[in-house]
């Protein structure tokens, strides 16, 4: 008996899937476990296996086509079996036609009246009768349309960091279309089909909401205006075509010329126009990888002076590493100024000239808020103002941990940090106190029996929280290796959405910055977050004597809707006992 296979939900945020490749054709025999197709989701390209034996009788979409979750993907059954009744819409239509053929007379008169009305309407509206209204077009199901994907679980909009393809360029499957700045990182967006780039939904630096029109890829002659009109009518927003770039640029140049004609600003424009004439190698839009941009910003390198060796002159990490400035940027000095300086200050001729800024008025700089900062502001404000926080602080004797860490690192393949010891102890303590490992869901509280610990990692743009999954089941060396890998991926902007989703508890450690103690804001939907301070050597009393001791302070921020004071205190007592006797958490 034939059985339908629907498009599965392969991730928690997936709403549709793209057929990246079919591995079986209609008529091919299929066995349970055979690879049917590769499905591209909002997170990754995943393989879909058949769960029954038979013959592939129907495919719901061809390669490159999109299907919504729970749409008909394929039908597997016996060879020659009739599947018309299982195909959505087709079976019903056929049945309808048969019923009309059996009883033609009762339907004849209404049909003629309907045709008469249609003729009258066509006479009134001759121009629009043959054209489908733009508002009736579902662009999400068109193969040529590329919508702004949801690249993270908290993403609501993306900023076009750069376009790697221009309108009119040929595009192949796997080519990088654009770099999208999300609330978590700057990520490369690849094309999933071949064709020409016919339309760009926004210019570099502009925002596009998730599921809004990002680009159109198709064959020459495709009706772009029809799709754009449908997108506008669907979203209610006016999107400016990229074809207006030149007009906008001319307007901007006109504004600069007006500014340049008014006194002091004119001098500023002239000053900045001298040095780049000899050194500029990139004009207009600059193509560079996210890592190259970050390295250039850290080293203070202006990308317009760097020659790219990648595709189409794209600047890569190696270009930044190998960059050597040819001429230092200095303001040109006229011959008269040189002679005047030589005659008035001969004693200072050999001394280097250092420009010392003098401030005679208030000076500041305003920078646009990045997508990551917006997400941090939104999520933490929601947490702070919706979750009633309370805080519990405890001092922990770390002498035993200091001694144990030295011995562990003698045999561990990965260097174990104090943060790794804290993470392992927290994971063990959470198994004993599941209420702390919970989430507030409005009408219910979710008590998590798995332990996924988020580790806050500072990056230049803000903060990321990659997740160590099932931390209670991992060894210290496994935890240490995983945390180091996540930290490096975060700094290189290589973290994927799956890396930062699904935490049940969070740790934020500022001890390496010399912070003794602090309070942290809960990372929703977690119920608690642990703020870890540094280890300080202070006098302590042991066995009636004052001796030097290693003490670390931790502060637990709790959501009072889920965790009460006694519950949080009991968790901290368990954590304290594990860190003061670290052998207990190895059992």
| Domains of the chain by residue range | 3-88, 93-131, 135-246, 279-326, 371-586
DSSP string covering 151-177: -STT--EEEEEEESS-TT-EE-TT-EE
Top-confidence residue, 257 or 80: 80
pLDDT recorded at residue 236: 41
- Residue written as token pair 């091919």: 28
Do 445 and 439 touch, CB atoms closer than 8 A?
A: yes
| Beta partners for residue 508, in sequence order | 531
| Range among 450-454, 462-466, 544-548 rated most confident | 450-454
pLDDT range class, residue 480, cuts 50, 70, 90:
very high
Q: What is the pLDDT of residue 82?
A: 85
| Residue 494, burial from CB neighbour count under 10 angstroms (0-12, 13-18, 19+) | middle
| Backbone phi, psi, residue 392, to 5° | -125, 125
What CATH number is given for 135-246 in this structure?
Answer: 2.40.50.100
Summarize pLDDT for 204-218 with one digit per residue, the tens. 888 888 888 889 998
Q: State the catalytic residue, choosing from 23, 389, 450, 560.
A: 560
CATH fourth-level superfamily of 279-326: E3-binding domain (4.10.320.10)
Is residue 560 part of the annotated active site? The answer reads yes
Q: Is the pLDDT of residue 66 over 70?
A: yes
Query: Average pLDDT, stretch 160-170?
Result: 89
Least confident of 375-384, 486-495, 502-511: 486-495
Cα–chain center distance at 466: 13
With cut-offs at 50, 70 and 90, classify the pLDDT of residue 133.
low
80-114 pLDDT, tens digit each: 888 888 886 443 333 333 333 444 444 444 444 44
Q: What is the mean pLDDT of the chain?
A: 78
Of 145-149, 313-317, 441-445, the least confident: 313-317
Number of helices and strands in the chain (H, E): 15, 26
Residues in the chain: 587
* Cα 422 from chain centre: 29
Q: Which region holds residue 442: left if phi is over 0, alpha if psi is between -120 and 50, else beta?
A: left
The pLDDT value given to residue 44: 66
Please check whether residue 317 is in contact with residue 295, taking contact to mean a CB–CB distance below 8 angstroms.
Answer: yes
Query: Is pLDDT above 80 for 284?
Result: no
Report for 222-236, 249-263, 299-313, 379-393: range of highest mean pLDDT: 379-393
Catalytic residue, from 82, 223, 516, 564: name it. 564
3-state secondary structure of 91: helix
Same fold yes or no, 3-88 and 135-246: yes
Q: Is the pLDDT of residue 400 over 80?
A: yes
What is the end-to-end Cα distance of the chain in Å, rounded?
Answer: 53
Q: What is the pLDDT of residue 276?
A: 44
What mean pLDDT do residues 543-553 have? 92
Whether 416 contacts 477, CB under 8 Å: yes
The pLDDT of residue 451 is 96
The answer to whether domain 371-586 has CATH 3.30.559.10 is yes
Instruction: Tell the burial category of 77 from Cβ atoms under 10 Å away from its Cβ (0-12, 13-18, 19+).
Output: buried
pTM (whole model) above 0.85: no
pLDDT band at 311 (very low <50, low <70, confident <90, very high): low
Average pLDDT on 272-300 reads 68
Q: What is the DSSP letter of 495?
A: -
Helix (H) or strand (E) holding 477: helix 476-491
What integer is the mean pLDDT of 182-193?
A: 77
Look-up: residue for tokens 């009762």?
106
Q: What tens digit of pLDDT does each residue of 11-65 get?
A: 656 788 889 889 999 999 988 778 888 888 765 677 788 777 889 999 989 988 8
CA distance 278 to 327: 9
- pLDDT of 572: 97
579 falls in which pLDDT band (50, 70, 90)? very high
What CA–CA distance (Å, rounded) separates 41 from 37?
13
- Is 492 a catalytic site residue? no
For the domain spanning 3-88, the CATH number is 2.40.50.100
For residues 159 and 581, give the distance between their C-alpha atoms in angstroms, rounded to a whole number.
Answer: 49
**Residue 281 reports pLDDT greater than 90:** no
In percent, how much of the chain has pLDDT > 90? 29
């Amino acid at each position: 008996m034939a059985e339908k296979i629907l498009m599965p939900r392969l991730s928690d945020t997936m709403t549709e899937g793209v057929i990246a490749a079919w591995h079986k054709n209609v008529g091919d025999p299929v066995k349970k476990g055979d690879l049917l197709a590769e499905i591209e989701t909002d997170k990754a390209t995943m393989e879909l296996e058949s769960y029954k034996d038979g013959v592939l009788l129907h495919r719901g979409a061809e390669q490159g086509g999109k299907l919504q979750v729970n749409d008909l993907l394929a039908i597997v059954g016996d060879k020659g079996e009739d599947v018309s009744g299982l195909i959505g819409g087709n079976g019903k239509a056929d049945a309808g036609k048969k019923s009309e053929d059996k009883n033609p007379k009762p339907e004849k008169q209404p049909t003629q009246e309907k045709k008469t009305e249609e003729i009258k309407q066509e006479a009134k509206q001759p121009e629009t009768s043959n054209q489908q209204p733009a508002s009736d077009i579902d662009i999400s199901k068109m193969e040529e349309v590329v919508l702004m994907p949801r690249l993270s679980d908290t993403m609501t909009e993306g900023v076009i960091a750069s376009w790697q393809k221009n309108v009119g360029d040929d595009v192949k499957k796997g080519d990088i279309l654009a770099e999208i700045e999300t609330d978590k990182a700057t990520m490369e967006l690849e094309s999933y089909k071949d064709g020409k780039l016919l339309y760009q939904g926004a210019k570099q630096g502009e925002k596009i909401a998730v599921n809004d029109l990002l680009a159109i890829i198709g064959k020459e002659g495709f009706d772009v205006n029809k799709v754009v009109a449908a997108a506008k009518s669907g979203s209610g927003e006016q999107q400016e075509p990229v074809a207006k770039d030149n007009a906008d640029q001319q307007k901007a140049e006109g504004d600069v010329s007006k500014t340049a004609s008014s006194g002091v600003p004119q001098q500023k424009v002239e000053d900045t126009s001298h040095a780049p004439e000899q050194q500029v190698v990139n004009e207009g839009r600059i193509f560079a990888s996210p890592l190259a941009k970050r390295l250039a910003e850290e080293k203070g390198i202006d990308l317009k002076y760097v020659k790219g060796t990648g595709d189409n002159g794209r600047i890569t990490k190696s270009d930044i590493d190998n960059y050597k400035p040819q001429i230092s940027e200095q303001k040109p000095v006229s011959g008269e100024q040189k002679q005047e300086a030589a005659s008035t200050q001969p004693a200072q001729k050999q001394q280097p000239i250092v420009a010392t800024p003098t401030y005679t008025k208030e000076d500041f700089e305003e920078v646009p808020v990045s997508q990551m900062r917006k997400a941090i502001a939104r999520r933490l404000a929601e947490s702070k103002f919706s979750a009633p926080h309370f805080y519990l602080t405890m001092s922990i004797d770390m002498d035993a941990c200091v001694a144990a860490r030295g011995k562990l690192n003698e045999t561990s393949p990965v260097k174990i940090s104090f943060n790794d010891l804290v993470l392992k102890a927290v994971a063990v303590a959470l198994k004993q106190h599941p209420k702390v490992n919970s989430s507030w869901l409005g009408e219910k509280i979710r008590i998590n029996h798995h332990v996924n610990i988020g580790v806050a990692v500072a990056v230049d743009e803000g903060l990321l929280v990659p997740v160590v999954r099932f931390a209670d089941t991992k060894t210290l060396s496994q935890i240490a290796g995983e945390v180091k890998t996540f930290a490096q991926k975060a700094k290189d902007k290589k973290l994927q959405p799956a890396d930062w989703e699904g935490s049940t508890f969070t740790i934020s450690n500022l001890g390496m910055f010399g912070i003794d103690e602090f309070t942290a804001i809960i990372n929703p939907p977690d119920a608690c977050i642990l703020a870890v301070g540094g280890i300080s050597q202070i006098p302590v009393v042991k066995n009636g004597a004052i001796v030097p001791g290693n003490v670390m302070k931790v502060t637990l921020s709790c959501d009072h809707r889920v965790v009460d004071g006694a519950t949080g205190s009991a968790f901290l007592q368990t954590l304290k006992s594990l860190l003061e006797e670290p052998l207990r958490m190895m059992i």
